[in-house]
Amino acid sequence: MTMDPLDLHSEPYGATGNIGENFRRLLGAPSLDTLQTVIREAVQNIADAANLGHGPEVAIRLRTLSQEQSEVLRRVVLRDIPSQGESRDLIQATINRKALVVLEICDFRTAGLGGPTRSDRVPAGTKRTDFIDFLRNVGTPRDMEHAGGTYGFGKVALYRASRCSAILVDTLPQGSSADGRRLIGCRVGRSFDIPEGGMLRRFTGRHWWGVADPLDGVADPVTGSRAAELASALGFPDRDDTKSGTSIMILDFDSEDEDLSVAGRRIAESLLWNFWPRMMRDIPDSRRFTCRVDVEGIEVPVPAPEDFAPLDLFCKAMRAARNQSGNDVRRVESLRPAQFLGTLAVEKGLRTQRRPLVPDDSLVPPIAHHIALMRPVELVVKYLNGTPLPDESLEWAAVFLASNEDEVERAFADAEPPAHDDWIPDSLPKGNAKRYVNIALKRLREAAAEMGMAAQARPGGSDSGPPLGRIAGRLGSVLENVGGDGAGRRRSPAGGGRARPLRARASRPVFDRLELGTSGRIAIFTTEVTQDSARTGAVLAASVSIAIEGTGAGRVDDEIALPSILSIMRADGEMAVEGQSLALNGQDGQFELRILVPDEFAVTVDAVVLPEAVQ
């Protein structure tokens, strides 16, 4: 195959200056590692490009270029290399590498990079400037309502992941014919000077590979059939008018000496951990991300978030936040000025077995006790750490979904640093926006801390009054704080029929009575189990902890025994088990929870119905 080599253009400073080598520093110091940052930033950009009425397809590939592909890269794309020392040496090392690894991030059914290709030549009336915003300009503000990326700095992370700080971009803008295909290369390095006519000619450190403009030598992308032929020779995915979008190849990907198969699983885990709200089964097609990862041509499974603990618990909280209805849903508001800031939804459940995708340094915590923070675009900004529940067999997960009111959404968007991995109100000017973010974060931190906060009080108090009476009084005082899978007062439906819920559930456990047993005082709570129409409820699981003044605690003193669940029994006596979980096998009805309680202390009780047995 004979193809004309691309032209190299090393970008000089303009008369009024350029941003130069500081381009690489614009990302700041992200809280995530390089691979995570690349995946987060690239997929956020994809989210903003997916405005065609359906969700994008995302394909992330780790592969070693074949000998033929490496030759095309060396003889056609990078035949001309920069003359400046660092750039020359790094590019030379890349094209000389015997096994050249690349990371490709490809999207389909998206807008692609359309519009003019030069920032200094924008036709009047142009509305679409995706190409120059992504490749040419730096720091272009967003022009999309409720977008994910906000400032467009995600491209910086792409260069950081390359040993030679270079990428190739292949794009087919939506609505274009085959002639609209575009391919260009770019490297970002240090600025440098070249003596010329008694002066120093200064260069920004950006180098472009494409087709030189005959007037000024600026490299424009290769286009049309030539671009398609070159893209195919390099191994880029095929494209046609049904597969508009962009492929970005990170040259000489820096895997930090990690096995590529492990790196591929890290990519899959990063997709899940950061984008699970847009990967849920019940999200509309217009918003759903369809993600695929493969390493050396072998697909890496990306499980559905509902099947991946603890994201299954986060998914339940997400549905509650979207619907503003669920087991524990709270409005977060500002009083002065009066403004709804967002919805906090919390879910508790038994800790399920982890199936990590990576052998170590997993993003997934062993026990969930976090609030996932996100704006209406539903991309996770960060996880706010909270207090674990006292019982290590239990965990909680929560979602805070910021309000979609423009003023509030803009406040949270502007509070994000360039890496979009935090909300930093101190970066905002004094005013309502700063106040909104501060108030929301304060409320969320309080909620996260209180969720599993252990009481610090020690036993004590008056000995007057009957012991059972004192315990019963304390038990009664905490009933409002006892949550279940079906929290809230149960009402019979109108008429003789009984409506089935959408999923099997247990009502809020209610304190019934105290008994004296041979092993101590026993509190009996009751809960009503209601099956859904398919009777999918498999297990009734209960948990208990000490409660003092409405706060749950695993242990308030080393000398105090923990409460324990002795048994669960259906009220008619037909089903019973010793311990904290009972196999329902689709049955429902009223159940008694018998709980051994320590002297002088009340307990809080939770009951949930699970669709499968706990492993």
Task: Please determine, for residue 7, whether its predicted confidence score (pLDDT) is greater than 70.
Answer: yes
What is the model's pLDDT at position 482? Answer: 38
Stronger pLDDT, 615 or 423, i.e. the higher one: 423
Question: In this structure, what are the phi and psi dihedrals at residue 94, rounded to the nearest 5 degrees?
Answer: -65, -50
pLDDT band at 545 (very low <50, low <70, confident <90, very high): confident
For the segment 239-244, the average pLDDT, to the nearest whole number, is 91
Exposed, middle or buried by CB within 10 Å (0-12, 13-18, 19+), for 188?
A: buried
Task: Please determine, for residue 96, whether its predicted confidence score (pLDDT) is greater than 90.
Answer: yes
For the segment 252-273, the average pLDDT, to the nearest whole number, is 94
pLDDT band at 454 (very low <50, low <70, confident <90, very high): very low
Stronger pLDDT, 245 or 454, i.e. the higher one: 245
What is the model's pLDDT at position 484? Answer: 38
Question: In this structure, what are the phi and psi dihedrals at residue 504, rounded to the nearest 5 degrees?
Answer: -60, 145
**Could you tell me if 171 and 182 are in contact, meaning their C-beta atoms sit under 8 angstroms apart?**
yes
pLDDT band at 15 (very low <50, low <70, confident <90, very high): low
Residues making up the chain, counted from first to last: 615
What is the model's pLDDT at position 218? Answer: 93
What is the model's pLDDT at position 25? Answer: 55
Give the DSSP letter of residue 322.
H
Task: Please determine, for residue 142, whether its predicted confidence score (pLDDT) is greater than 70.
Answer: no
Stronger pLDDT, 19 or 440, i.e. the higher one: 440
**Could you tell me if 146 and 409 are in contact, meaning their C-beta atoms sit under 8 angstroms apart?**
yes
Mean pLDDT lowest for which of 205-209, 306-310, 501-505? 501-505
**Helix (H, G, I), strand (E, B), or coil: what is residue 79?**
coil
Stronger pLDDT, 440 or 573, i.e. the higher one: 440
Give the distance from CA 459 to its chain's centroid: 43
Question: In this structure, what are the phi and psi dihedrals at residue 578, rounded to the nearest 5 degrees?
Answer: -85, 135
What is the model's pLDDT at position 261? Answer: 95
Amino acid identity of 92? Q
What is the model's pLDDT at position 47? Answer: 87
- Residue 132 CB partners (closer than 8 Å, separation 6+): 115, 116, 117, 118, 119, 122
Angle between helical axes of 432-450 and 406-414 (0-180°, round to 10): 80
∠ CA 50-168-246, nearest 5°, is 15
Task: Please determine, for residue 84, whether its predicted confidence score (pLDDT) is greater than 80.
Answer: yes
Question: In this structure, what are the phi and psi dihedrals at residue 286, rounded to the nearest 5 degrees?
Answer: -65, -15
Alpha carbon distance 449, 348 (integer Å): 15
SS3 labels along 385-431: ECCCCCCCCEEEEEEEEECCCHHHHHHHHHCCCCCCCCCCHHHCCCC
Give the DSSP letter of residue 512.
E
**Helix (H, G, I), strand (E, B), or coil: what is residue 434?**
helix
**Could you tell me if 445 and 438 are in contact, meaning their C-beta atoms sit under 8 angstroms apart?**
no
What is the model's pLDDT at position 110? Answer: 92
What is the model's pLDDT at position 54? Answer: 84
pLDDT in tens, 380-436: 999 999 999 888 888 999 999 999 999 999 999 999 987 788 999 999 999 999 999
Task: Please determine, for residue 613, whether its predicted confidence score (pLDDT) is greater than 60.
Answer: no
Task: Please determine, for residue 175, whether its predicted confidence score (pLDDT) is greater than 90.
Answer: no
Q: What percent of the chain has pLDDT over 90?
A: 54
Amino acid identity of 276? W
Of these ranges, 51-65, 125-139, 449-463, the one predicted with the greatest mean pLDDT is 51-65
Mean pLDDT lowest for which of 81-95, 173-187, 551-565? 551-565
Mean pLDDT lowest for which of 364-368, 465-469, 591-595? 465-469
What is the model's pLDDT at position 478? Answer: 35
Q: Two tokens at 307? A: 């099947």
For the segment 340-367, the average pLDDT, to the nearest whole number, is 91
For the segment 448-455, the average pLDDT, to the nearest whole number, is 70
First to last CA, the chain: 58
Alpha carbon distance 234, 145 (integer Å): 36
Alpha carbon distance 362, 305 (integer Å): 16
Map out the domains of the chain as residue ranges.
7-295, 311-450, 467-490+499-610
| Residue 114 exposure: Cα atoms within 13 Å on the Cβ side | 17
Q: What is the mean pLDDT of the chain?
A: 84
Q: Two tokens at 4? A: 């004309």
**Helix (H, G, I), strand (E, B), or coil: what is residue 72?**
helix
Architecture in CATH of 467-490+499-610: Sandwich (2.60)
pLDDT band at 153 (very low <50, low <70, confident <90, very high): low
Q: Two tokens at 529? A: 């189990």
What is the model's pLDDT at position 361? Answer: 86
Task: Please determine, for residue 39, whether its predicted confidence score (pLDDT) is greater than 90.
Answer: yes
What is the model's pLDDT at position 471? Answer: 39
Residue 429: CB atoms within 10 Å: 7
Mean pLDDT lowest for which of 17-31, 57-71, 200-214, 284-298? 17-31
What is the model's pLDDT at position 150? Answer: 40
Helix (H) or strand (E) holding 186: strand 182-188
What is the model's pLDDT at position 379? Answer: 94
Q: DSSP assignment of 460-508, as one string?
A: -----S-HHHHHHHHHHHTGGG---TB-S---PPSSS--PPPSS-EEBP
Task: Please determine, for residue 612, whether its predicted confidence score (pLDDT) is greater than 80.
Answer: no
Helix (H) or strand (E) holding 34: helix 34-49
pLDDT band at 453 (very low <50, low <70, confident <90, very high): low
For the segment 254-276, the average pLDDT, to the nearest whole number, is 94
Please give the sequence-ordered ranges of beta strands (E in DSSP) within 225-319, or none if there are none: 245-250, 290-295, 298-300
Task: Please determine, for residue 5, whether its predicted confidence score (pLDDT) is greater than 80.
Answer: yes
For the segment 50-77, the average pLDDT, to the nearest whole number, is 92
What is the model's pLDDT at position 32? Answer: 65
Exposed, middle or buried by CB within 10 Å (0-12, 13-18, 19+), for 332?
A: buried
What is the model's pLDDT at position 550? Answer: 37
What Rg value do the Cα atoms of the chain yield, rounded? 30
Alpha carbon distance 197, 467 (integer Å): 99
